[in-house]
Chains A and B, each alone.
Chain A
Amino acid sequence: MVDHLTKRFGDRTAFEDVSFSVAQGEVFGFLGPNGAGKTTTVRTLGTLIAPTSGSASVAGIPLTSVNGPEIRQRIAIMPENPGLYRRLTVTENLQLFAGLYEQRNGAARIGEALEAVNLTARAGDLCGSLSKGLLQRVGLARALLNDPAVMFLDEPTSGLDPVSTREVNDLINGLRQRGVTVFLTTHRLEEAERLCDRVAILNTRLRLVGRPDELRERLFSRSLLVETLHPVVAPDDVFNSTEGVESWRPEGTSSYVVNVADPRNIAPHLTRALVAAGADVVSISESRHSLEDVYLQLIDDDPEASQR
Chain B
Amino acid sequence: MKFSFGRLGAVLRKELREYRRSPFIVGTMALLPLVFLVEPLITIFRIGPSVAANVVDKAVGATFLVLLIAPALLPAVIAAYSVVGEREQGTLEPLLTTPLRREELLLGKAVGVVVPAVGIAYVLFALIQVCARLFASNAAVVSALGQGPHILAEILFAPLLAGWSICVGIGISTRASDVRVAQQLGTLSSLPPLAVVALVSFNVFTPSVTLAVVFAMVLLVADVVLFRIVVALFDRERLITGASARRSSSGDGQVPPAGAVRRIRRIGGTDDG
Contact = CB atoms under 8 A, between A and B. Distances in A.
A7 B259 CA distance: 14
Nearest to B246: A50
A72 interface: yes
Given A68-B272, A83-B91, A88 B21 contact: yes
Given A10-B247, A48-B237, A79-B93, A68 B269 contact: yes
A293 interface: no
B266 A65 contact: yes
Contacts of A99: 6-7, 9-11, 13
Interface string B208-243: 000000000000000000000000000011001101
Q: Mostly helix, strand, loop or mixed at chain A's interface?
A: mixed
B97 A63 contact: no
A248 interface: no
Given A48-B97, A85-B14, A10 B252 contact: yes
A102 interface: yes
B127 interface: no
Given A49-B236, A64-B265, A83 B93 contact: yes
A76 B97 contact: yes
Nearest to B9: A99
Contact of A4 (B93, B243, B259, B266): B259
Contacts, number: 179
Interface in B78-109: 89-101
Contacts of A19: 259
Given A53-B251, A92-B17, A100 B245 contact: no
Interface string B35-65: 0000000000000000000000000000000
A65 B269 CA distance: 6
B257 A50 contact: no
B1 A70 contact: yes
Contacts of A16: 257, 260
A220 to B, nearest CB: 28
A50 B267 contact: yes
Given A47-B268, A50-B267, A100 B95 contact: yes
B134 interface: no
A55 interface: yes
B273 interface: yes
Contacts of B96: 48
Band of interface residues on B = 35 or more
Interface residues of A, number: 58
B1 A73 contact: yes
Contacts of A66: 272
Contacts of A9: 241, 243, 248
A6 B254 CA distance: 12
Interface centre among B89, B241, B259, B269 (most CB of A within 10 A): B269
Contact of B267 (A6, A51, A72, A95): A51
A101 to B, nearest CB: 6
B260 A100 contact: no
Contacts of B260: 4-6, 16-17, 53-54
A7 B248 contact: yes
A49 B236 CA distance: 7
Contact of A6 (B89, B98, B256): B256
A177 interface: no
A72 B99 contact: yes
B183 to A, nearest CB: 19
Contacts of A52: 248-249, 251, 256
B261 interface: yes
Contacts of B93: 48, 79, 83
Interface centre among B1, B18, B236 (most CB of A within 10 A): B1
B14 A96 contact: yes
Contacts of B263: 53
B248 A8 contact: yes
B270 interface: yes
B266 A88 contact: no
Given A43-B240, A69-B1, A11 B268 contact: no
B42 to A, nearest CB: 38
B257 A17 contact: yes
Given A10-B243, A17-B260, A53-B260, 6 more contacts: A9-B241, A10-B248, A63-B268, A65-B265, A69-B101, A70-B1
